[in-house]
Structure 1
Amino acid sequence: MKALGINVEEKATGPQFATNDVHLAIQALPPLPPPIKGALSGAQNAALDQIFKLRPHLDRLECGALAAKISVPEKKIYDWFWRKRDKMRRDGVPVPPAPPKCGDHFLTEEQYTVLVAEFEKSPVMSAHRENVLTERLGFCGRGVYNWFQAEKLRRKKKTTPKLF
């Protein structure tokens, strides 16, 4: 069919471009801007790097304070730190271990009476009240908050009648 001037393969599949033409067309496209939504600025990244060098593991309160200081959501800071530690592990760089978490422990009589008295005042826990009680009772982490939540469930269980 070459004699008629028609290429059979070209008609069946449409016009064929040479590989070089496609490559040039791709290069001619304007570059896309980086995604703006959720991107950290250079100053924010520098601040996170500086804090990471000091402490690769942040607790909840430090993460909240850092989020307020550099105006980034806490979740984004937590994810950034997690990804940075993960990358270090993949690259074979030793990552310092996380600080030990406080384990389950029994309450002393004084701690129990203070918690019950505070719960009787109000079962609703505010962040300020949680911090004050945590320091006063020597708890670590979210111990006071967890105790309040468990106490609410215990009291609810006692007051609701069994249906069967």
Structure 2
Amino acid sequence: MNDAALTAFARELMTALESRRLVLATAESCTGGWVAKTITDLPGSSRVFDRGFVTYSNQAKQEMLGVRRETLERFGAVSEQTVAEMAKGAVLRSGSDAAVSVSGIAGPSGGTQEKPVGTVWFGWRCQGNAWTRRYCFSGDRDAVRRQAVATALQGLISILESGAP
């Protein structure tokens, strides 16, 4: 996944958001703001992008997005429950119409048998509806993160166009 492909996805998303008069927020962990950067690299992105939360630590997820400590302790940062709360928190704390959240294990270490390196959870919210998905990407840290950025953007495009990621 190269930069040109990510830019193309961001441009397509920007068009879809703009045509629906929707505003987006992001909540990112393993991608470290890369989704937000990809969108805001485009001229005119201020019409559809409100803010990005980079919540790498569990404490940041709690303080900035309202993720419950109990959720993190019981399920971990890389979980369906956590990304659902991250996306919900991004919408609630920004007033945006839509949000995407990303939390994963980009590697090269940190994986377990249950959650191997490359495991990434995504949460999406749009106008009151919510979705979560788990993906397992391959490659080095950069490849995992690039695939995660692409999936976050493509998921939003799909939700806007067909109602599901």
Q: Flag the structure with higher helix content.
A: 1
Give the TM-score range, shorter chain: under 0.3
Please give the TM-score of this superposition, normalised by the length of structure 1.
0.25
Q: Flag the structure with higher strand content.
A: 2
Greater RCO, CA 8 A, separation 6+:
2
Please give the TM-score of this superposition, normalised by the length of structure 2.
0.25
